[in-house]
Chain A
């Protein structure tokens, strides 16, 4: 049988058995397996923290489509990381409703506290700070930010400082509001 096209498979697959199982379960829920492209990429990113090209190839093999097709999808959607971000990914919403209630001041405060500009990652790899995010749909609690998977509303410098302190102590992406 001819060799399959695409990047050579890694000696050890990146995706764990649990992730592959998640992908197969997702495929079975749709009339066409390809529909599971987004959930499969989520599964890969949940495991790896980002989606490197090798992982895209493995996702493609699971879905039965080409690696380039998966790459086309992965690079279209803003929430898939091609490179690993900091352990905690902080996104400050600076769209209108948040801007009217002090989002710029909040962003400046975070830049100062973390010692990095908007878009940067701290040297210890603990935090990445970003303000290019879609409106978070948290306008009722503006200014808002999202850390990893969860949003935090009515942010003040004090509350953000306490949040940073808690996050520093946490090893991986969580950041659920408390």
Chain B
């Protein structure tokens, strides 16, 4: 069967003027919000539960369950939209922000009704300046049309929408760091518990949901949770927007039903591995996740199947690497990223990523000794599970999985005086 997209979340992508309010209303936009305003919060949450929707930011936590953690009768409550997309290889939320901003706002308002939230804060990463400016204009349109502020769409429910621009800190995608950043502090993670649902923004009950998660809500309210769940499989309901990049013919985002689609299908949608080359490795989930190989091509895009293979669908990325790729170089770039983005709060992450990075630069340059590979493993062992938040753990996952799978390639770098993979490529050229 040829791989095909199934456009649910992106069904209105490219519709005339859909980035503006009239264009979005023309395709039925904000009808789901009106319907939600006629439902009880419990009924909305029940539909989301029936949909099986799981968080699309990376942790895949069931959305309705997360909402259910809010304590009864404690107000005000806040909703935060996590648009701090910064996972290497991920650019799906940017597509939703740039192409379907009102769908996100409608989903945000539906969630706000379900949670009875007085404010929804949209935290957009600093690098996404143009998408943030677009979102500012859309929020202004929503206010003028009466979809935001006091008396949403003529109801008695009120919700303020606030767009908040970040300023270049990957860690703010971690939900408690995002809350600190929103409070005007350095974006460093908080100790959990208490979880944000109990004590979040300004100490009040707070839900943090990803852009893609919320953008699914208009469809779920319009068609019902069961219809959404039926699109995927029982374990992985619905569709998902995957970002395919690296050595493929046509990088981009592709929406596919989960569970029914394989990595091979996804790569086919992106035009296949670039012509004349073969697949060496792939990284699903984004920069944090473990490497997979050609033998995993027929794995279904299913939370459990990918977890069983030792990796994760994470935030919905797929980075494709062909035979010319140096796995030490790739590992070094990811380690550098985590080193740069470590917030400095805890020692294992702050110091661990520093030593990891130094060592990987020596290794890629062919200057490290074989003993240093043991040091690398040792550093990673002392980081994983010992850091304050998941950033430190994930700074070890790709490099260690690559080291296990491509041990010979790592060893060949030791004392080589240069990168042997690059040298071989240059000799062949």
- B346 part of interface (Cβ distance < 8 Å): no
User: A65 vs B93: C-alpha distance in the bound complex, in angstroms?
Assistant: 34
Chain A: CB-nearest residue to B186: A76
Number of B interface residues in the complex (CB < 8 A): 56
Chain A: CB-nearest residue to B127: A136
Known: A95-B333, A95-B337, A146-B127. A35 touches B170 (CB 8 A): no
Contacting pair B329 A99 (CB below 8 A): yes
Interface stretch of the complex, out of A37-45, A118-126, A161-169? A37-45
Write out the residue numbers on chain B whose beta carbons fall within 8 Å of the beta carbon of A35.
164, 182-184
Write out the residue numbers on chain A whose beta carbons fall within 8 Å of the beta carbon of B165.
38-39, 42
Chain B: CB-nearest residue to A45: B167
Of residues 45 through 79 on chain A, the ones whose CB sits less than 8 Å from some CB of chain B are 63, 65, 72-73, 76-79
Contacting pair B333 A79 (CB below 8 A): no
Known: A76-B169, A79-B168, A96-B330. A34 touches B184 (CB 8 A): yes
Write out the residue numbers on chain B whose beta carbons fall within 8 Å of the beta carbon of A38.
164-167, 181, 184
Contacting pair A149 B129 (CB below 8 A): yes
B215 nearest CB across to chain A (Å): 16
Q: CB-CB contacts of B332-352 with A at 8 A, as 1s and 0s?
A: 011001001101000000000
Interface stretch of the complex, out of B54-62, B189-197, B246-254? B246-254
Write out the residue numbers on chain B whose beta carbons fall within 8 Å of the beta carbon of A150.
129-130
Chain B: CB-nearest residue to A142: B245
Q: CB-CB contacts of B82-110 with A at 8 A, as 1s and 0s?
A: 00011111110110000000000000000
User: A65 vs B185: C-alpha distance in the bound complex, in angstroms?
Assistant: 11
Known: A101-B246, A134-B86, A134-B337. A73 touches B184 (CB 8 A): yes
Residue of B127, B182, B183, B184 near A137 (CB, 8 A) is B127
- A15 part of interface (Cβ distance < 8 Å): no
Contacting pair A72 B184 (CB below 8 A): no
- A139 part of interface (Cβ distance < 8 Å): yes
Contacting pair B186 A73 (CB below 8 A): yes
Write out the residue numbers on chain A whose beta carbons fall within 8 Å of the beta carbon of B321.
100
Write out the residue numbers on chain B whose beta carbons fall within 8 Å of the beta carbon of A100.
245-247, 319, 321, 325, 330
Write out the residue numbers on chain A whose beta carbons fall within 8 Å of the beta carbon of B24.
none
- A13 part of interface (Cβ distance < 8 Å): no
> By DSSP majority rule, is chain A's interface helix, strand, loop, or mixed?
loop
Q: CB-CB contacts of A134-178 with B at 8 A, as 1s and 0s?
A: 111111111000100111000000000000000000000000100
Contacting pair A77 B166 (CB below 8 A): yes
Known: A76-B186, A94-B333, A99-B329. A140 touches B245 (CB 8 A): yes
Write out the residue numbers on chain B whose beta carbons fall within 8 Å of the beta carbon of A135.
86-90, 287, 337
Known: A38-B181, A135-B337, A137-B86. A142 touches B251 (CB 8 A): yes
Contacting pair A137 B128 (CB below 8 A): yes
Contacting pair B94 A137 (CB below 8 A): yes
A84 nearest CB across to chain B (Å): 17
Write out the residue numbers on chain A whose beta carbons fall within 8 Å of the beta carbon of B170.
134
Instruction: List 15 A-B residue pairs with CB atoms under 8 Å apart, sorted by A's residue number.
Output: A32-B183, A35-B183, A38-B166, A39-B165, A65-B184, A72-B186, A96-B283, A97-B319, A99-B330, A133-B127, A134-B127, A134-B168, A138-B91, A149-B129, A150-B129
**A contact residues vs B (CB 8 Å cutoff):** 29-32, 34-39, 41-42, 63, 65, 72-73, 76-80, 94-97, 99-101, 132-142, 146, 149-151, 176
